[in-house]
């Protein structure tokens, strides 16, 4: 397995993207919903490859604005061109669901165990993360994990629900 210390990734919400402008990034995985404009990247000192996706944060695959299998295939094709040393910023609207799913998938794609990948995402972003399960389901199928990745995430989200609830109760969120 690849040591997580050499994986320079960040996860954030769209409002936080400008705070990463001074950090040299290789890629930005930008996931926004259909109502949201692209983030302003003019302040960035480097020119990272920007990969834009537009789909809503839903787990309902019948919703026309849901993450699609084709979008996740495209995401995985981008990941195939990265290395564990690539500096990547993952962002979505709030940095909770779609971006954390994209980061989780990237880590697994680069050989990190499900448990270590999920723990790393939580360590980066916080206990409130809840990776989009439909994105993970599509990645699980495409990557040939036979439902194991989805089952792990579902169980982990269920196990961590009290911790997330406690976090939101303390933070007033």
Whether the predicted pLDDT of 1 surpasses 80 = no
- Residue-wise pLDDT for 29-62, tens only, equals 999 988 888 887 878 877 889 999 999 999 988 8
Q: Please answer whether residues 80 and 155 qualify as being in contact, where contact means their C-beta atoms are separated by less than 8 angstroms.
A: no
Q: Please answer whether residues 147 and 140 qualify as being in contact, where contact means their C-beta atoms are separated by less than 8 angstroms.
A: yes
Q: How confident is the model at residue 161 (pLDDT cuts 50, 70, 90)?
A: confident
3-state secondary structure 105-134: HHHHHCCCCHHHHHHHHHHHHCCCCCCCHH
Q: How far apart are CA 114 and CA 43, in angstroms?
A: 35
Q: Please answer whether residues 135 and 101 qualify as being in contact, where contact means their C-beta atoms are separated by less than 8 angstroms.
A: yes
Q: How confident is the model at residue 84 (pLDDT cuts 50, 70, 90)?
A: confident
Its pTM stands at 0.89
């Amino acid at each position: 397995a690849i040591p997580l210390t050499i994986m320079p990734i960040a996860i954030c919400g769209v409002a936080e993207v400008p705070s990463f402008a001074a950090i040299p990034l290789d890629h930005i995985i930008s996931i926004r919903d259909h109502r949201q404009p692209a983030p302003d990247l003019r302040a960035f000192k480097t020119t990272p490859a920007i990969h834009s996706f537009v789909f809503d944060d839903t787990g309902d695959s019948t919703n026309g604005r849901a993450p699609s299998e084709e979008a996740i295939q495209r995401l995985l094709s981008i990941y195939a061109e990265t290395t564990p040393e690539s500096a990547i910023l993952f962002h979505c609207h709030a940095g909770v669901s779609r971006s954390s799913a994209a980061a989780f998938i990237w880590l697994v794609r680069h050989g990190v165990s499900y448990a270590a990948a999920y723990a790393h995402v939580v360590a980066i972003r916080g206990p409130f993360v809840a990776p989009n399960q439909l994105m993970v389901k599509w990645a699980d199928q495409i990557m040939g994990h036979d439902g194991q990745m989805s089952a792990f995430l579902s169980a982990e989200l269920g196990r961590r629900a009290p911790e997330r609830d406690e976090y939101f109760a303390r933070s007033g969120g």
